[in-house]
């Protein structure tokens, strides 16, 4: 069956290797930054950043899980994992500031964030439906309609991933600027926060690259790039 094709793993190998390297970097950077004290907890840093921007209406909630931190633009709520919410470390304030950066993007109507949020429903459908459609089309005697419908939906997922990259990079840039300008950390401490956020951004790059290479594999596979 095509979905066990060894060529697929050759296609995505660069993204897999990049992803593994990114995970190693983020674990190393996060562990290091966890050992360094910060004047505020993650929740305290987030509250300071939001209040300084006049976003007193945005609530901050503690949620279970490891690195489950996110900003919910619909509920206008910043949700931080317990470790980030309570810890007074550079790792915690860096992650909390990054999520606060998304809230700042939302408040300032950052175009890429608006496009990403609008694309979420379509990307969700593509994530769950595209591969089953491609597989079903291949099983049903290479049904071209199903295969290309699946590929089209997966292309939508790739577009979403590409849109997401500038959103994440911009949130990190806003986070680092706010942390320093508000005096939460100094320039020396910024080095360690930057390592955490840069490593986290690299995981998004790896995921996007894997999506692009997977799409390339499917297009090549079903346009005569390989005949079975």
Task: Kindly give, in sequence order, each residue whose CB lies less than 8 Å from that of residue 20, ignoring residues fewer than 6 positions away.
Answer: none
Distances (CA, A) of 76 to 3, 121, 207, 225: 41, 18, 27, 47
**Can you say how many angstroms the Cα of residue 101 is from the centroid of all Cα atoms in its chain?**
13
In a domain, 205, yes or no: yes
Q: Say if residues 160 and 122 touch (Cβ distance below 8 Å).
A: yes
Distances (CA, A) of 150 to 3, 201, 210: 14, 28, 17
Burial class (CB in 10 A: 0-12, 13-18, 19+), 101: buried
In a domain, 227, yes or no: no
The residue with tokens 């950066």 is 101
Cα dihedral 65, 132, 119, 206 sign: positive
In a domain, 175, yes or no: yes
Q: Say if residues 163 and 116 touch (Cβ distance below 8 Å).
A: yes
In a domain, 71, yes or no: yes
> And the tokens for 14?
């660069």
Burial class (CB in 10 A: 0-12, 13-18, 19+), 156: middle
In a domain, 7, yes or no: yes
Catalytic site positions: 99
Cross-strand pairs, 72: 77
Range of the domain at 102: 2-221
Can you give the pLDDT of all 228 residues of the chain as single tens digits? 445 678 899 999 999 999 999 999 999 999 999 999 999 999 999 999 999 999 999 999 999 998 899 999 999 999 999 999 999 999 999 999 999 999 999 999 999 999 999 999 889 999 999 999 998 988 887 889 999 999 999 999 999 999 999 999 999 999 999 999 999 999 999 999 999 999 999 999 999 999 999 999 999 988 865 444
In a domain, 192, yes or no: yes
In a domain, 187, yes or no: yes
* Model pLDDT for residues 158-217, shown as the tens digit of each residue: 999 999 999 999 999 999 999 999 999 999 999 999 999 999 999 999 999 999 999 999
Cβ neighbour number for residue 195 with a 10 Å cutoff: 20
Instruction: Provide the total of helices (H) and of strands (E) in the chain, helices listed first.
Output: 7, 3
Q: What gap in Å lies between CA 74 and CA 72, rounded to an integer?
A: 6
Which helix (H) or strand (E) segment is 41 a member of?
Answer: none
Residue (of 174, 186, 159, 193) closest to 71 by Cα position: 174
Q: In the chain, how many domains are there?
A: 1
Residue (of 175, 184, 193, 26) closest to 102 by Cα position: 175
Q: What gap in Å lies between CA 49 and CA 107, rounded to an integer?
A: 13
Q: What gap in Å lies between CA 218 and CA 207, rounded to an integer?
A: 17
In a domain, 23, yes or no: yes
């Amino acid at each position: 069956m095509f979905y066990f094709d060894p060529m697929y793993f050759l296609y995505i190998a660069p993204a897999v290797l990049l992803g593994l390297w990114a995970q190693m970097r983020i674990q190393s950077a996060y562990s290091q930054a966890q050992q360094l004290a910060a004047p505020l907890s993650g929740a305290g840093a987030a509250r300071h950043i939001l209040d300084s921007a006049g976003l007193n209406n945005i609530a901050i909630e503690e949620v279970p899980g490891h690195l489950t931190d996110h900003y919910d633009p619909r509920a206008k709520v910043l949700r931080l994992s317990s470790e980030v919410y309570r810890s007074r470390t550079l790792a915690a304030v860096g992650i909390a500031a990054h999520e606060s950066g998304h809230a700042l993007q939302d408040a300032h109507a950052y175009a890429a964030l608006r496009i990403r949020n609008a694309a979420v429903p379509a990307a969700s459908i593509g994530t769950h439906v595209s591969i089953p459609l491609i597989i079903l089309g291949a099983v049903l005697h290479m049904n071209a309609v199903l295969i290309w419908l699946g590929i089209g939906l997966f292309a939508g997922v790739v577009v979403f991933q590409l849109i997401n990259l500038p959103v994440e990079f911009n949130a990190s840039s806003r986070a680092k600027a706010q942390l320093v300008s508000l005096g939460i950390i100094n320039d020396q401490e910024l080095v360690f926060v930057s390592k955490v956020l840069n490593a986290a951004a690299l995981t998004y790059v790896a995921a996007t690259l894997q999506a692009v290479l997977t799409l390339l594999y499917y297009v090549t596979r079903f346009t005569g790039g390989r005949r079975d």
